[in-house]
Amino acid sequence: MEVLSGLMHGFGVALDPINLLYCFIGVFIGTLVGVLPGIGPISAMSLLLPVTLSGTPEAGIIMMAGIYYGSMYGGSTTSILVNIPGEAASVVTCIDGHEMAKIGRAGPALGIAALGSFVAGTFAIVVLMLVAPTLAKVAVAFGPAEYFSLMVLGLTILSFLTQGSMAKALLMACVGVVIGLIGLDQITGFPRLTFDRLELVDGIGLVPVVMGLFGVTEILCNLEQQVRRDVVQSRIGSLWPDKADMKASAAPIARGTVLGFLLGILPGGGAVISSFASYALERRLSKTPGRFGKGAIEGVAGPEAANNAAAGGAFIPLLTLGIPPNVVMALLLGAFVVHNVQPGPLLMTQHPQVFWGVIASMYIGNIMLLVLNMPLIGMWVQVLKAPYRILFPLILMFCIVGVFASGNAVFDVFVMIGSGVAGYLMRKFGYEAAPLVLAFVLGPMLENNLRKSLILSHGSFEIFVTRPISLLCLLVAVLLLLAPLLPALRRKREKVALDVTD
Amino acid sequence: MIRRAELWGGLFWLAVGAFVAWQGWLLGLGTLHEPGSGFLFFWLGLVMCAFSVTIALAGMRGQGPELADLWRGARWGRVLLVIAALIVYGVAFEPLGFVPCTLALLLFLMTVVDPVPLKLSVPISAAAAVGVWYVLQKLLLIQLPHGTLFE
Amino acid sequence: MAIRRRSVIKASLGTVIGAGVGMPLYLPAARAQQFPSRPITFIVPWPAGGSSDLTLRAVAERASKVLGQPFIIDNKGGAGGTLGPAQMASAAKPDGYTVAQLPITVFRLPVMQKTVFDPMKDFTFISHLSGYTFGVTTNAEQPYKTFKDVVEYAKANPGKVTYGTPGAGTSLHIGMERIAAQAGVKWTMVPFKGGAETNAAVLGKHTTLQADSTGWKPLVDAGQLRLLCVWTAQRTKNWPDVPTLKDLGYDMVFDSPFGVGGPKGMDPAVVKKLDEAFKIASEDKDVIATYAKYDMAARYMDHAAYDKFARALYLDEKAGLEKLGLAAKG
Does residue A14 carry a pLDDT above 50? yes
Q: Which of A380, A409, A298, A326 is nearest to A87 (CA)?
A: A326
Q: Residue B45 CB: number of other CB atoms within 10 A? A: 23
pLDDT at C19: 36
| Average pLDDT, integer, range A67-93 | 84
Q: In chain B, which residue's Cα lies nearest the Cα of C10?
A: B151
Judged by CB atoms within 8 Å, which residues 22-51 of C form the interface with A? Answer: 47-50
Residue A15 pLDDT class (50, 70, 90 cuts): very high
Q: In what order do the strands lie in the sheet with C40-44?
A: C71-75, C40-44, C98-102, C258-263, C123-130, C298-301
**Equal CATH topology for C35-132+257-324 and C134-230:** yes
What gap in Å lies between CA A451 and CA B32, rounded to an integer?
10
Contact yes or no for A189 and C169 at CB 8 A: yes
Q: What is the mean pLDDT of chain C?
A: 82
3-class state of residue A349 by DSSP: helix
Are B49 and B85 in a shared domain?
A: no
**What per-residue confidence (pLDDT) applies to C14?**
36
- Residue C6 has a pLDDT of 36
pLDDT given for residue A501 in this prediction? 42
Task: Please check whether residue C127 is in contact with residue C278, taking contact to mean a CB–CB distance below 8 angstroms.
Answer: yes
- Give the Å distances, CA to CA, from C282 to A462, C42, C97, C101, C133: 52, 16, 20, 14, 18
Q: From CA B119, how far away is CA A275, in angstroms rounded?
A: 44
Per the CB < 8 Å rule, is A454 touching B110?
Answer: no
Question: Whole-angstrom Cα distance, residue A49 to residue A335?
Answer: 7
**Mutation to test the B interface, candidates A148, A201, A390, most B Cβ within 10 Å:** A390
HEC secondary structure over chain C: CHHHHHHHHHHHHHHHHHHHHCCHHHHHHHHHHHCCCCCEEEEECCCCCCHHHHHHHHHHHHHHHHHCCCEEEEECCCHHHCHHHHHHHHHCCCCCCEEEEECCHHHHHHHHCCCCCCCCCCEEEEEEEECCCEEEEEECCCCCCCHHHHHHHHHHCCCCCEEEECCCCCHHHHHHHHHHHHHCCCCEEEECCCHHHHHHHHHCCCCCEEEEEHHHHHHHHCCCEEEEEECCCCCCCCCCCCCECCCCCCCCCCCCCEEEEEECCCCHHHHHHHHHHHHHHHHCHHHHHHHHHCCCCEEEECHHHHHHHHHHHHHHHHHHHHHHCCCCCC
Residue C27's pLDDT band (cuts 50, 70, 90): very low
A443 and A176 Cβ atoms separated by less than 8 Å: yes
Is A413 in contact with B16 (Cβ distance < 8 A)? no
pLDDT exceeds 80 at position C323: no
Query: Quick one: pLDDT band at residue A387, thresholds 50, 70, 90?
Result: confident
Number of domains in chain B: 2
User: Using CB atoms and an 8 Å cut-off, which of residues 58-77 of chain B contact chain A?
Assistant: 64, 70-71, 73-76
Residue B146 included in any domain: no
- Residue C137 region by backbone torsions, left for phi larger than 0, else alpha for psi between -120 and 50, else beta: beta
* pLDDT attached to residue C330: 45
Measured between CB atoms, which of A139, A189, A331 is closest to C200? A139
Q: What are phi and psi of C227, to 5 degrees?
A: -85, 120
B88 and B110 in a single domain? The answer is: yes
In this predicted structure, what is the pLDDT of residue B61? 83
pLDDT value of residue C138: 96
Q: Would you call A447 an interface residue with chain B, using a CB distance cutoff of 8 Å? A: yes
DSSP reduced 3-state for A2? helix
Q: What's the rounded Cα separation, in Å, for the pair A280 and A161?
A: 6
Residue A364, amino acid: I
Same domain, B13 and B57: yes
Rounded to whole angstroms, how far apart are CA atoms A108 and A239? 6
Query: In this structure, are strands C40-44 and C98-102 parallel, antiparallel, or unpaired?
Result: parallel
Distance CA(C136)–CA(A323), nearest Å, equals 17
Assess C72–B contact: CB distance below 8 Å, yes or no: yes
- Asked if residue B58 is part of any domain, the answer here is yes
Please tell me whether residues B65 and B99 are part of one structural domain: no
* A409 in reach of chain B (CB within 8 A): no
Enumerate neighbours of C (3 or more CB pairs within 8 A): A, B
pLDDT band at C20 (very low <50, low <70, confident <90, very high): very low
B8: nearest CA in chain A?
A429
Q: What is the pLDDT of residues B27-49, one digit of tens each?
A: 888 888 888 889 999 999 999 99
Is the domain of B86 the same as that of B135? yes
Mean predicted lDDT score pLDDT of chain A? 84
pLDDT (mean) for A417-423: 95
3-state secondary structure of A192: strand
pLDDT value of residue C80 = 67
Give, in order, the Cα–Cα distances in Å from B138 to each of A395, A433, B13, B94: 21, 35, 46, 19
Which H or E run includes A96?
helix A91-102
Residues C252, C178: contact at Cβ < 8 Å? yes
What is the architecture of the domain spanning C134-230?
3-Layer(aba) Sandwich (3.40)
Q: In a 3-state reduction of DSSP, which class is residue B30? A: strand
Specify the higher pLDDT residue, A203 or B23. B23
Please tell me whether residues B64 and B9 are part of one structural domain.
yes
Q: How far apart are the first and last CA of chain B?
A: 58
Q: Give the model's pLDDT for residue A454.
A: 92
Please check whether residue B64 lies inside any domain of the structure: yes
B45 shares its domain with B81: no
Task: Based on the fold, state whether residues B80 and B102 are members of the same structural domain.
Answer: yes
In chain C, the residue whose alpha carbon lies closest to the alpha carbon of A453 is C190
- CB contact under 8 Å between B151 and C72, yes or no, is no
Q: Are residues B62 and B103 located together in one domain of the fold?
A: no
Q: Is C248 exposed, middle or buried (0-12, 13-18, 19+ CB in 10 A)?
A: middle
Most confident stretch, A349-353, A367-371, A478-482 = A367-371
What tens digit of pLDDT does each residue of A316-365 get?
888 888 888 877 887 788 788 778 788 888 888 888 888 899 999 999 99
Domain endpoint, select from B70, B96, B126? B70
Residues 5-44 of C with CB under 8 A from B: 11-12, 15, 38-39
pLDDT confidence of residue B68: 79
Within 8 A of C114 by CB-CB distance, chain B residues are none
- Shortest CA distance to C250 belongs to which of C164, C185, C327, C168? C185
Span B103-136, pLDDT tens digits: 999 999 999 888 889 898 999 999 999 998 888 8
What does the pLDDT read at residue A426?
Answer: 94
The predicted-structure confidence for C136-149, as pLDDT tens digits, reads as follows: 999 999 999 999 99
- What are the domain boundaries of chain C? 35-132+257-324, 134-230
The CA distances from residue C107 to A107, A230, C130, C308, C311, in Å, are 57, 58, 16, 13, 9
Most confident of A18-32, A33-47, A70-84: A18-32
> pLDDT of A467-476, one tens digit each?
999 999 999 8
Question: Is the CB of B76 less than 8 angstroms away from the CB of A454?
Answer: no
Q: Are residues B11 and B53 in the same domain?
A: yes
Range of the domain at B44: 5-70
Whole-number pLDDT of residue C142 = 95
For residue C153, what pLDDT is reported?
A: 95
Residues A32-69: tens digit of each pLDDT: 888 877 777 777 787 677 677 778 888 989 999 999 88
Is pLDDT larger for residue A35 or for residue A429? A429
Task: Choose the closest CB to A454 out of B33, B71, B144.
Answer: B33
pLDDT of residue C9: 36
The residue ranking higher by pLDDT, A328 or C154, is C154
Bridge partners of A191, per DSSP, are A184
Q: Does C140 touch chain A (CB under 8 A)?
A: no
Between CA B118 and CA A484 the distance in angstroms is 58
Confidence of residue A494 (pLDDT cuts 50, 70, 90): low
3-state secondary structure of B4: strand
pLDDT band at C50 (very low <50, low <70, confident <90, very high): low
Q: Which chains touch A (3 or more CB pairs under 8 A)?
A: B, C
Q: What is the pLDDT of residue C53?
A: 80
C239-279 pLDDT tens trace: 999 999 999 999 988 888 899 999 988 888 889 989 999 99
- Is a pLDDT exceeding 60 seen at residue A493? no
Would you report the helix, strand and coil content of chain A in percent, each value rounded to 5? 80, 0, 20
B124 contacts on A by Cβ (under 8 Å): 390, 394
Average pLDDT score over residue span A204-233: 79
> Residue A275's closest CA among A261, A265, A286?
A261
CATH topology of domain C35-132+257-324: D-Maltodextrin-Binding Protein; domain 2 (3.40.190)
Q: Given pLDDT bands bounded at 50, 70 and 90, which one contains residue C17?
A: very low
Assess whether B9 and B56 both reside in one domain. yes
- pLDDT above 90 (res A145): yes
* Cα–Cα dist A155/A164, whole Å: 17
- Rounded to an integer, the average pLDDT of C189-205 is 87
**Residue in C74, C81, C233 with CA at minimum distance from that of residue C166:** C81
Digit-coded pLDDT (tens) for B75-89: 888 999 999 999 999
* C53–A334 C-beta distance less than 8 A: yes
> Is the ipTM here above 0.90?
yes
* pLDDT for the residue numbered A287: 87
Taking the C-alpha atoms of residue C316 and residue C104, their distance in angstroms, rounded to an integer, is 11
pLDDT exceeds cutoff 70 at A93: yes
